[in-house]
Structure 1
Amino acid sequence: MDPILDLNDPDISQLVYTKTNIGGWFFDAYIRMDHTSRLTITEHPVQTGAAVSDHAFLQPRELSMDVAMSNVNTSMVPGQFGGTYSRSVQAFNVLKELQRLRVPIQVHTRLGLYPNMLVEVLTAPDDYKTLNGLQCTVTFRELIVAQVTTVKISARPIVTDTSQRGSPEPTTPNQTILKEMFGR
């Protein structure tokens, strides 16, 4: 992978915060993007009538991008996708490395900012049409991170050890009528 971007450079920071990019990597073209946001509504059957819905939650967001890379263009960011004979091959290697690392990245698009995205699927045809370039579909899925909360617990024990139970005394069992009559 190429060196990390210097976000203090004014030219770079403008690109990162205003242009479509995948974790700070700027591809030549973004042909198509499919943004998916899904709400799951729970359903519980009841004895009569329709199912009752009492809760809803958001599923992890999904983003599918068709990106393209040419071997003849120069990079928007100096030094990106360099180091090999082919920019398109290097671009595909960058995407494979982002997937292999399994580190959440930030994806910026015209329709929104997607933090905590993982590269789930890479699909790239390799034929005579893509000999001097790359056309790749990158599918991202949001990684939902749980928030941990610390709860303070009382120092007092939940169960007391010193209960006043009294002292049990033996009693004679009830006598049956037959035993009282015959004495046995």
Structure 2
Amino acid sequence: MGGLGPGIGGFEILMIGIVALLVVGPKDLPLLMRKIGRVMAKARTMANEFRSSFDEMARQSELDELRKEVEALRTGQGMHPLGAEADAAFRDIRDDLNKPLEGPAAPPMLTGPEEWPDSAPVMAPRDPVVAEPAAEIVKTKARARPKSKAPGASIKTASGKSRPIRAKKVDL
């Protein structure tokens, strides 16, 4: 199924070309092919315009229907009343929402040891820790050296691996 359409294959196109060559002749065949190409281009253009205008009309009719629905909602047409019970429920909810708060605010929730005053504290409260800048922490950890500088001694790094101690002092 190749070629121009579902019913025309390669063999049929070849036969049409041979017949056109015999009927028109080799001299006028290029002119005929150009004219056929132009006619096909115009037909495609007209089909695309028709399709786009048809799509535009469909969109316009959908928009008209939506406009009618919106207008019906604005005027209240097509809406059914909910009833006296629903109106009363909505009125009660609105009154509760608009009612001012009465009395003191609720006490804050307790979290921690004061929540259970009769139990012993699990941990003693700690003093607030003064945070050191990150650069200072790095410098102090880098300068820390083990007390033993015996040959073959090693220290453990933060990753848990041990590394040998350098014999020379290196400034960082």
Q: TM-score range by the shorter chain?
A: under 0.3
The structure showing larger relative contact order (alpha-carbon pairs under 8 Å, at least 6 residues apart) is 1
TM-score after normalising by structure 2: 0.25
Structure with bigger strand share is 1
TM-score after normalising by structure 1: 0.24
Structure with bigger helix share is 2
CA radius of gyration, larger in:
2
